[in-house]
Amino acid sequence: MLRARSASREGAHVLIDTYGRVATDLRVSLTDRCNLRCTYCMPEEGLQWLAKPDLLTDDEIVRLIDIAVTSLGIEEVRFTGGEPLLRPGLVGIVERVAALDPRPQMSLTTNGIGLKRTAAALKEAGLDRVNVSLDTLRPDVFKTLTRRDRHKDVIEGLHAARDAGLTPVKVNSVLMPGLNDDEAPDLLAWAVEHDYELRFIEQMPLDAQHGWKRDGMITAGDILASLRTRFELTAEGEEKRGSAPAERWLVDGGPHVVGVIASVTRPFCAACDRTRLTADGQVRTCLFAQEETDLRAALRSGAPDEEIARVWRLAMWGKKAGAGLDDPTFVQPDRPMSAIGG
């Protein structure tokens, strides 16, 4: 159980909360737009996208990351969306962040559609690795899940990322009842064959339609049971896991591993080391938070870096002990995953 600290550390040069957790991992959403319409994320017609003036500019994004890295102890930066490859200035942003001192580790979460075209340029700019979302090996199921016929583009994007050296290439998969819930062993066999690191993610209550139901989701236990019908899995253990969200298992003794992110059934809030920045410049302490803190207003009012850092520290100081998914009063966030950043 987490215990709140009695004395404030707001003035320290880290993003610490009252439970002693220190955020060293920054997730930056570059856009809320996406070129897929995944059924567990948004409706077929899409969403009301953020207006361009509301989005952070490239300069504002780099400035906030600079503050996070040089003044707040951030060591890793993950670019997310929506679909971050839709951000026109992405390569330039990566290049500028790579030039920071100290230089953070940089990764990207993407649906992979644009990777064939951009992987080499992103690697040259300084990106270290990618996570690619792919829920199925079957093009027809992909079309049903995403409402787009782009399966071949994702596969080609994955190969391009691997060939460019954006490794380890991690593949994120969500299993949905009646659609792809039988594919876990096939996905793992395919990932091992192509030297990708597969990670299954439990479906989370972050869909724009608010249609998520706990009793309808495929759980971590379901996934592991399915995988064990074909593979021997050996747990790596908590010592190796650290603050990573995925529990990892060696596949048939290794060296390949498979991960399961059980955000709902096995929450890992006690080890959380993340802070989140939305595409419109709001700090979020948790994917499931109801509250946000506005950094965009501070940026555009001329606040100095020290004041922005102070506001950011204060926001993280108020981070809650957990996401509250097991609380009967849990309310799904109003903003969907595409707006928050994964």
What does the alpha-carbon distance between residue 161 and residue 148 come to, in Å, rounded to a whole number?
A: 21
Q: Please tell me whether 275 is known to bind a ligand.
A: yes
Does residue 272 have a known ligand-binding role?
A: yes
Residue pair 130/22 in contact by the 8 Å Cβ criterion: no
Asked if residue 230 belongs to a known ligand binding site, the reply is: no
Measured CA to CA, the distance from residue 205 to residue 215 in angstroms comes to: 12
Q: Of 340, 292, 298, which is closest to residue 316 (Cα–Cα)?
A: 292
1 assigned ligand-binding residue: no
Residue pair 21/273 in contact (Cβ under 8 Å)? The answer is yes
Would the annotation count 21 as a binding residue? no
| Cβ(28)–Cβ(81) below 8 Å | no
Residue 152 known to bind ligand: no
Burial tier of 329 (Cβ tally within 10 Å: 0-12, 13-18, 19+): exposed
Residue 116, marked binder: no
- CA angle centred on 52, ends 48 and 53, rounded to 5°: 120
Tokens standing for 256? 């390949």
For residue 199, give Cα distances in angstroms to 196, 202, 247.
10, 10, 9
**96 annotated ligand binder:** no
Q: Are 161 and 115 in contact (CB under 8 A)?
A: yes
Is 73 annotated as ligand-binding? Answer: no
Q: Does the annotation list 129 as a binding residue?
A: no
* Residue 55 host element (H or E): none
Q: Which helix (H) or strand (E) holds 154?
A: helix 151-164
Structure tokens belonging to residue 264:
């709902």
| Distance of alpha carbon 73 from alpha carbon 147, whole angstroms | 40
167 labeled binding residue: no
Question: Contact 75/24 with Cβ under 8 angstroms?
Answer: yes
106 is in an annotated binding site: no
In 3D space, the residue among 222, 94, 216, 233 whose CA is nearest the CA of residue 164 turns out to be 94
Q: Is 19 marked as binding a ligand?
A: no
DSSP summary character for residue 216:
G
Binding positions for S-adenosyl-L-methionine: 40, 82, 133, 204
Binding positions for [4Fe-4S] cluster: 34, 38, 41, 269, 272, 286
Binding positions: 27, 34, 38, 40-41, 78, 82, 109, 133, 170, 204, 269, 272, 274-276, 286
Binding positions for GTP: 27, 78, 109, 170, 274-276
